[in-house]
Structure 1
Amino acid sequence: MQNTRRAPEVLSPAGTLEKLKVAFDYGADAVFIGGQAYGLRSRAGNFSFEEMSEGVSYAESHNGHLYVAANMVTHEGNEEGAGEWFRKLRDIGIHAVIISDPALVAICVAEAPGLPIHLSTQASATNYETLEFWKSLGLERVVLAREVSMAELAEIRKNTNVQIEAFVHGAMCISYSGRCVLSNYMSLRDANRGGCSQSCRWKYDLYDLPFGQERRSIKGGIPEEFSMSAVDMSMIEHIPDMIENGVDSLKIEGRMKSIHYVSTVTMVYRAAVDAYLESPEKFESIKPDLVKELWKVAQRELDTGFYYGVPDENKQLFGARRKIPEYKFVGEVVSFDAKTMTATIRQRNVIMEGDIIEFYGPGFRHFETKVLNLRLAATGELIDRAPKPMELLLIDLPEAVEVGDMIRKNGESLINLYQPDGKSMTVRA
């Protein structure tokens, strides 16, 4: 491996302006968002030009960058107005646009000169010759296909100076680089033009179809129907490989995820990068805590995707869940009075007197405490239970917190552990 040891960019997703600000607050160097045209997440909270402008200002106040995904596959007529749209992004101050379709690349180069272009993972770049081709057209960065192995990544880095962006965390697609038409058939929603209904995540049955006879459902030894759903990617234990092989940007997937997800995953990868750059020994010492932290947010099971071999059937979601996150997000700190050691929090889920809750914040700060003297911020009235989302509450604390710190609690969930005999057992978290 090359000993580059350069600090890679931590690149986080944001589906809303709130999530964008949280990502930067929790350590992102850059954030990628979607606009209201040309993207692949039509159901995400896509940004207006006004929100983009505010996002640019917030990014720059944190010495960060803001990128806009415009990675749809265009059919005839879809590209109309793209030139004006790209010029608007450039003039707002967007730091780069992420594109997969050559037509949109050509339009952006011709009609919005000065706006940097990153090649989307949808374009399936899997070798250095491809990166050199796009470099010749003026692109400065390529997002590698998720199907690239670590050995291939190392070879690509040795043979090109194009910036490399690679996914390190988030959802995997059952189709090659996400170029799928299953949604088109199953729900008449074009996955390549922003309408994916995630048909691969649905549950399907298997049928025996003897010639000339009625079809019969086949019930096998697994406790749920057949699916084509892949586990999520997590490279948190392999950040050294990403850094040593010269990856310029570590990309976290999830523009439709919660602020709990964005804050936690961003914080964890920020801590991982900083620790490894300080020393490999420091990274190894905190690695178990990083893994544990990631399992506090809702997600599918985790694996390393294609980096260390082609995924087998154990990298698919079937049968009972082998591991389930136990924590749920319950609130965030709005203000803190250091004299009275009282926090004002905005509630997101039910909080009860006596709950054991965890506060966490940027810089990998954590502590647990019991909810004591729970009361309404508006009246000071003591309450046993706060069920109303977004209500302002007061809590007495043993330690100081900061505005923007998040709160979660360990729920009463059951963890399902899949057994080799096809049965499942449950243990209380």
Structure 2
Amino acid sequence: MELLAPAGNMEKMRVALHYGADAVYLGLADFSLRSMSRGFSEDEVFEAIKLARSLGRKAFITLNILPHNRDLEGLREHLQRLAPHRPDGVIVSDPGVFEMAAELLPDSDLHISTQANITNAASAKFWKRMGAARIVLAREVSIEEIRQIRDAVDIEIEAFVHGSICMAYSGRCYISSFMTNRSANDGECANSCRWNYTLVEKKTGEGEMAAPVQRDEEEPTYFLREEKRPDEYMPVFENDRGTYLMSAKDLCMIEHIPELLEAGVTSFKIEGRGKGVNYAAGVVKVYREALDAAARGDRTVDPRWIEELGMFSSRGYTTGMFFGPHPDKDYHHDEARIDRKTHDFGGIVRERSAEQILLAPRTVLRPGEQIQFLSKGIETDLFTITAVFDEDGNTVAATKNEAMARLQFDRPVPDVVRPMDIIRRPCVTAAAN
């Protein structure tokens, strides 16, 4: 049983490992569907592999773009430089990249990405024959189907259990390409499915809209209009499986870890390489506790887990497709019901004593403000800052981003607070509510 966490950069990786991740997944932006983000340099990828290994954890390298011919030479060169560092595994979706990785990384396990859309036992058997050690199931697979795949194929099964859900089939999206000429399959997704759209009805007479190009189907009645493209209309079609609109709620399976474990999931994956340190810490911590409880045979859902996950910005939570197609009445999010974060990320503890902490701050903190430590057993306790000092011990009015600071509180720092724990501050709007 493995808890697999996203690592968007070195800091997020260290925090995820600190809070209990067994493994992390990371990669170069150009080859891992994250070309629009600043993440790891190649040297940092090598450093990350070394760090994970030193802690007895694992690092999996994402190589899951759908490459064009122009990408192949650079990809091969990257694999050649990666080989001496022997990553624990590489995540691929393209058969050509699979063969290249098998040739150049003989000491690394090959994992098949969710982008490969594995939804059945026959596909799992195929990749097993090809030499894959693990399959990352499509998000459209139900728990019952996971059980069937497990019974049919002896292969590691990885499944997403928390985070954003792409509206395209396991991420194979063309909306971004259509709207912005940025391909999601090359790591350039513009998140077009999360923009603000209005559903409009085709009018007749003087108010009739300019009709879009039609396919050889019944003419649609309804159209989507994006707020920044008021003169463009996209037809909404319906078939016997329903009407397809965009932007799902976020996945959350925290209440169903035992069922997934019993079905055969061996790696529980958290989405979110582009999300913040606060998210990495809090979500990993909650799922670590849930997996440990399930391993002990404890099926109890701790209310604290639900409360903790509710502290992060989300589009509301859903169990996705795990219990069949669209089991939730509210699978799609409503912009008016987006759950906003309740806490700001305050910083990372570097040192502690009973009297104060040395903090790497990520926001401005002042005397009189209250914070919480994301530390075992005191997550909801509030501590009032009584004094702020610079690293040399001089009194200052407030912390400054990226400048180390020492904080004192209205009571001693608990023994459970450790270096690498994070602190957070209740948002003003959350406190007002």
TM-score bracket, normalised by the shorter chain, equals 0.7 to 0.9
- Give the superposition deviation at 1:191: 0.9
1:387 Cα deviation after fit: 6.0
Tell me the SS of whatever aligns to 1:237.
Answer: helix
Structure 2 match to 1:402: 418
The match for 1:57 among 47, 50, 60 is: 50
CA distance in 1, matches of 2:386, 2:429: 26
1:370 Cα deviation from its structure 2 partner = 2.9
Displacement of 1:83 in angstroms is 2.9
Q: Distance in 2 between matches of 1:87 and 1:13?
A: 24
Alpha-carbon contact 2:253-2:319 (below 8 Å) kept: yes
Aligned residues: 400
1:301 equivalenced with 2:301 (yes/no)? no
Q: TM-score, normalised by structure 2?
A: 0.86
2:386 maps to 1:370: no
Q: Determine the structure 1 residue equivalent to 2:270.
A: 252
1:208 to 1:40, Cα distance in 2 relative to 1, 3 A: same
Matched, 1:93 2:86: yes
Q: Identity over aligned residues, as a percent?
A: 35
Secondary structure of the structure 2 residue equivalent to 1:262:
helix
2: CA distance, partners of 1:95 / 1:54: 13
Structure 1 residues 193, 54: CA separation in 2 closer, same or farther (over 3 Å shift)?
Answer: same
Contact map agreement 1:208 1:216 (CA 8 A) in 2: no
Q: Report matched runs for 1:236-275 at 5 Å.
A: 236-275=254-293
Which deviates the most, 30-39 or 124-133? Answer: 30-39
> Does the CA-based 8 Å contact 1:297-1:327 persist in structure 2?
yes
Match for 1:318 among 334, 338, 361?
A: 334
Q: What's the CA shift for 1:177?
A: 0.5
Cα distance, 1:87 vs. partner? 2.9
- Number of the residue aligned with 2:195: 202
Counterpart CA distance in 1 for 2:198 and 2:364 is 37
Alignment match, 1:331: 347
Taking the aligned partners of 2:403 and 2:161, their CA distance within structure 1 comes to: 32
Q: Secondary structure of 1:349's match? A: coil
Q: Tell me the alpha carbon deviations over residues 20-67 of structure 1, each in whole angstroms, 9 at most, x when there is no partner.
A: 111111101000002243221112333223212211121112211101
1:114-263 paired onto structure 2 within 5 Å: 114-211=107-204, 213-214=206-207, 228-263=246-281
Q: 1:365 to 1:86 in 2, by over 3 A?
A: farther
Q: C-alpha separation between the residues in 1 aligned to 2:42 and 2:400?
A: 36
Work out the CA distance in 1 between the residues paired with 2:197 and 2:256: 34
67-76 or 173-182: bigger deviation? 67-76
Alpha-carbon distance change, 176 to 368 in structure 1, aligned in 2, over 3 angstroms:
same
Aligned residues: CA RMSD: 2.6
Q: Quote the residue 2:224 is aligned against.
A: none
Secondary structure of 2:106's aligned partner: coil
Per-residue CA deviations over 1:83-129 (Å, capped at 9, x if unaligned) read 33223222112111100011111222234333321000000001111
Q: What letter matches 1:112 in structure 2?
A: L
Equivalent residue, structure 2, for 1:424: none
Report Cα offsets for 1:260-314 as digits up to 9, x if no partner. Answer: 111111111111111121231xx51x52111111112233311111001222561
DSSP-derived class of the 2:322 partner: coil
Tell me by how many angstroms 1:381 deviates: 4.7
Q: How many Å separate the matches in 1 of 2:430 and 2:383? A: 22
> CA separation of 1:391/1:213 partners in 2, compared to 1, >3 Å: closer, same or farther?
farther
Decide whether aligned partners of structure 1 residues 320 and 382 sit closer, same or farther in structure 2, where only a CA change above 3 A counts.
same
For the pair 1:110 / 2:90, whether they are aligned, the reply is no
Out of 9-18 and 45-54, give the one that drifted further.
45-54
State whether residues 97 and 115 of structure 1, in contact with CA within 8 Å, keep that contact through their aligned partners in structure 2.
yes
Residue identity matched to 1:183 = S
Matched position secondary structure for 2:126: helix
Q: 2:330 is paired with a residue of what secondary structure?
A: helix
* SS of aligned partner of 1:205: strand
Task: Mark the CA change 1:193 to 1:303 in structure 2 (over 3 Å): closer, same or farther.
Answer: same
CA distance in 1 between counterparts of 2:203 and 2:4 reads 52
User: In the alignment, residue 176 of structure 2 is paired with which amino acid?
Assistant: S
Instruction: Name 1:418's counterpart in structure 2.
Output: none
Q: 1:255 to 1:364 in 2, by over 3 A?
A: farther
Letter in 2 for 1:251: K
Compared CA separation, residues 191 and 213, structure 1 to 2 (3 A): farther
Cα displacement (A) at 1:367: 5.4
1:413 counterpart SS class: helix
Change (3 A) 1:373 1:412: closer
C-alpha displacement at 1:412, in angstroms? 2.3
For residues 168 and 213 of structure 1, do their structure 2 counterparts lie closer, same or farther at Cα, with a shift above 3 Å needed?
A: same
> In structure 2, what is the Cα distance between the partners aligned to 1:379 and 1:47?
32
State the distance in 1 between where 2:88 and 2:377 align. 28
- Aligned pair in 2 of structure 1 residues 322, 180: CA closer, same or farther (>3 Å)? closer
Report SS of the residue matched to 2:176. helix
1:278 pairs with one of 283, 290, 296: 296
Q: The residue matched to 2:379 in structure 1 has which SS?
A: strand
Which residue number in structure 2 is paired with residue 3 of structure 1? none
Q: Paired residue for 1:349?
A: 363
